Amino acid sequence: MSIAARSHTASTPALRVLNLAGVEYSVFEFEHDPNVRRYGTEVSEKLGIASDRVFKTLMILVDGEPITALVPVSGQLDLKALATAIGGKKAQLAGIAETERRTGYQTGGVSPFGQRRTSPVVIDRTAQDHETVYISGGRRGLEIEMRPDDLAMLTDARIAKIAAID
């Protein structure tokens, strides 16, 4: 699937960042079911795309420092691998309140772009297996499709094996 340069109404900080950067991306919106808690799986099902192309954005504390990790919803974050990838010792998932306060986004809609306070980003290497991947556009029910290279470049991300794939 090819994507076209598209300036979307900048309704979230993430879309504003992408519009300013001038990269190619597509936006997909769907009606989020408020009873669903597995947000990435909902994206995969509602948009009809493979779950290994949908990347969830997680806020992790490595040795107490915040890190943004992007992993496919078809797998789980390997905390030890993430810590090792950035030269740390211990990693743990940040709490919901801390994630929302730090990023400015609601859980299930956290985007790696336009966060209130930026942190280093690590993307699981499986992103490079795809022409395009999907990430949150900054709210539940809003997804961005873009090239993994553009995602890595705009977030200044490190690419590493940080996911255990189901």
CB 159 within 8 A of CB 127: yes
Residue 104: alpha-carbon gap to chain centroid: 14
List, run by run, the mean pLDDT of 10-residue segments along the chain (166 residues). Answer: 43 91 91 80 89 95 96 95 96 95 92 94 97 94 95 96 88
pTM for this prediction: 0.90
Q: Which CATH superfamily is domain 13-165 in?
A: YbaK/aminoacyl-tRNA synthetase-associated domain (3.90.960.10)
CA distance 135 to 120: 17
pLDDT at 153: 96
The H or E element that residue 153 is part of is helix 148-155
> Residue ranges per domain, the chain?
13-165
